[in-house]
Amino acid sequence: MVEQALPFPKQRSSSRFSAASAWSGFIAHRWFILTAIVLVGLGAWQGVRGVLGPAVVVDQVTRGRLIESVVASGHVETPYRVEIGSQITGTVEEVLVQEGEKVIKGQPLIALEARELKATVVQARGAVAQAEARIRQLEELTLPSAKEALTQAQATLLNAQQTYDRTAQLERNGYATRAALDDAQKTLDVARAVKRAAEFQVYTASPGGSDYVMAQTQLNQARANLDTAESRLGYATIAAPRDGVLITRSVERGTVVQAGKALLVLAPLGELQLVLQIDERNLGKLALGQKAVASADAYPDRHFAATVTYINPGVDISRATVEVKLTVVEPPDYLRQDMTVSVDIEVAAKDNAEVLPVRSVHDILSGQPWVLTIRGGRAAKRPVKLGLRGNSQIEIVEGLEPGDIGIPQSSGVLTGQRVRPVLP
């Protein structure tokens, strides 16, 4: 019994030695074995890839709404700007506003030194008072005195006429001498002259008479001089002509300003406009009244509406662009002068259009566009006819049908190459 049991431990020992030897061999040559496995896997994968072609993410023609738009960038402007300057030469005493400040119509902006102007106003007021006093003198003193003198002259003339008549009657009857009649005649002539002088005095002192007209003219001139002086004094305070925002300030305290020189620039409140330079190739797509969506580069997540209101009839030959202006009727509060904006102008739209991503269309601008599609598992070139073009998709009018495949240009696939399409 003991002799028969002895071989079994020897077999188990041999088996353990064989497994240990195999594991030691694997450990010793593990990198070689792993490399061989990888190479075998790569060879198999290349074999499958060679037969079926590489997997390529492709695009598919679908139906949907397509909006064609013209995208451009520009800046914000007011329809016009008001340059504010002085109407007189003077020294700036105080600047009452800062650049970027909102102002209202009539608000003082700049104060000029006004001592001489105030003195001129005082002198002009004195001249007006003097001319008014002259008018009152004519009305209250000269005219009543002249009328009183006229009444007295009329009475004297009447008395002289009666004396002359009596003397003439006596001279005819022989009771008065010729010398007495001559004296009566002289007295009558003097009375008539005094009456005429008194009538002239009344006329000249009355409204419409020469003295009155002269006094009234002097009063009008004095009042005109006063208006001029007060106006010039008013020019010493430069006020806002309308509501707006001051976008430029080029004056400081102590500056000597000249008439007509711009000191401040005011952007009036209200409508704003967006000024764009658009490639002339898009000129035929633009029209007045087209709607647009805009956003400021500083606030890209905020959008506002605008409308095309001006298309320059000329083209900038140096840049091959056309100036286009869009009106923003209700501008958001955050818009500022000269702020950069991006604008998307909707120029056309179509429902149920056959569309394909732009990235899968070759030679779009050449006049002979084409798409690399798949026929029999291989890439094949197919000419197409294009329609509307959106930001990322384009309309396929002819050449492809809904469900057809388009291979993106970035895939690097060549015509005739086997490919395995993969939809995104």
For residues 305 and 412, membership in a common domain is answered with yes
Q: Is residue 223 part of a domain?
A: yes
**Residues 374 and 58 sit within 8 Å (Cβ to Cβ):** yes
CB count, 10 Å around CB of 347? 19
* pLDDT tens by residue, 113-142: 999 999 999 999 999 999 999 999 988 888
Range of the domain at 318: 55-79+271-424
Among 251, 267, 283, the domain boundary falls at 267
Phi, psi of 165 (to 5 degrees): -65, -45
Q: Six-digit token pair at 166?
A: 């009596």
**Residues 417 and 88 sit within 8 Å (Cβ to Cβ):** no
d(CA 74, CA 339): 8
pLDDT band at 19 (very low <50, low <70, confident <90, very high): low
For residues 397 and 251, membership in a common domain is answered with no
Give yes or no for residue 27 having a pLDDT over 90: no
Q: Is residue 8 part of a domain?
A: no
pLDDT band at 289 (very low <50, low <70, confident <90, very high): very high
For residues 108 and 122, membership in a common domain is answered with no
| Bridge partners, 296 (sequence order) | 299, 341
The pLDDT of residue 245 is 86
* Cα end-to-end span (Å), the chain: 76
Spatial CA neighbour of 78 closest among 309, 385, 338? 338
The pLDDT of residue 210 is 86
For the ranges 14-23, 314-323, 326-335, the lowest mean pLDDT is seen at 14-23
For residues 410 and 275, membership in a common domain is answered with yes
d(CA 26, CA 21): 9
Q: Is residue 319 part of a domain?
A: yes
d(CA 327, CA 253): 38
Q: Is residue 406 part of a domain?
A: yes
Among 234, 255, 286, the domain boundary falls at 234
Q: What is the mean pLDDT of residues 255-275?
A: 87
Q: Domain containing 251 — which CATH number?
A: 2.40.50.100
For the ranges 37-46, 55-64, 145-154, 222-231, the lowest mean pLDDT is seen at 37-46
For residues 224 and 353, membership in a common domain is answered with no
The pLDDT of residue 218 is 93
Give yes or no for residue 153 having a pLDDT over 70: yes
* pLDDT tens by residue, 291-306: 999 999 999 999 999 9
Give yes or no for residue 405 having a pLDDT over 70: yes
Share of the chain above pLDDT 90, in %: 44
d(CA 186, CA 180): 10
For the ranges 24-33, 88-97, 217-226, 236-245, the lowest mean pLDDT is seen at 24-33
pLDDT band at 36 (very low <50, low <70, confident <90, very high): low
**Residues 358 and 392 sit within 8 Å (Cβ to Cβ):** yes
For residues 320 and 418, membership in a common domain is answered with yes
For residues 109 and 250, membership in a common domain is answered with yes
For residues 184 and 99, membership in a common domain is answered with no
Q: What is the mean pLDDT of residues 362-373?
A: 88
For residues 208 and 349, membership in a common domain is answered with no
For the ranges 102-106, 265-269, 396-400, the lowest mean pLDDT is seen at 265-269
Q: Is residue 392 part of a domain?
A: yes
CA dist 176 → 44, 168, 182 (Å): 172, 8, 11
The pLDDT of residue 74 is 94
Helix (H) or strand (E) holding 256: strand 256-257
* Residue-averaged pLDDT of the chain: 85
Q: Is residue 146 part of a domain?
A: yes
Among 211, 234, 257, the domain boundary falls at 234
Q: Six-digit token pair at 314?
A: 């000329």
Q: Is residue 90 part of a domain?
A: yes
User: Which has more confidence, 222 or 205?
Assistant: 222
Number of domains, the chain: 3
pLDDT band at 420 (very low <50, low <70, confident <90, very high): confident
For residues 199 and 143, membership in a common domain is answered with yes
The pLDDT of residue 11 is 47
pLDDT band at 93 (very low <50, low <70, confident <90, very high): very high
* pLDDT tens by residue, 161-220: 999 899 888 888 888 788 888 888 999 899 899 999 988 988 888 888 888 899 999 999
pTM, full prediction: 0.53
d(CA 315, CA 280): 7
Q: Six-digit token pair at 38?
A: 């990888």
- Dump the DSSP string for 351-374: EEEEEEEGGGEE-TTSS--EEEEE
**Residues 33 and 398 sit within 8 Å (Cβ to Cβ):** no
Q: Which residue has the tokens 């074999």?
A: 47
**Residues 109 and 238 sit within 8 Å (Cβ to Cβ):** yes
In this structure, is the dihedral angle defined by the CA atoms of residues 395, 399, 403 and 404, taken in order, positive or negative? negative
320: helix, strand or coil:
coil
> Where are the alpha helices (H) located in 175-238, listed in sequence order?
178-205, 210-235
Q: Domain containing 296 — which CATH number?
A: 2.40.30.170
The pLDDT of residue 31 is 67
For residues 128 and 145, membership in a common domain is answered with yes
In this structure, is the dihedral angle defined by the CA atoms of residues 39, 41, 43 and 49, taken in order, positive or negative? negative
**Residues 74 and 273 sit within 8 Å (Cβ to Cβ):** no
Q: Is residue 11 part of a domain?
A: no
For residues 168 and 211, membership in a common domain is answered with yes
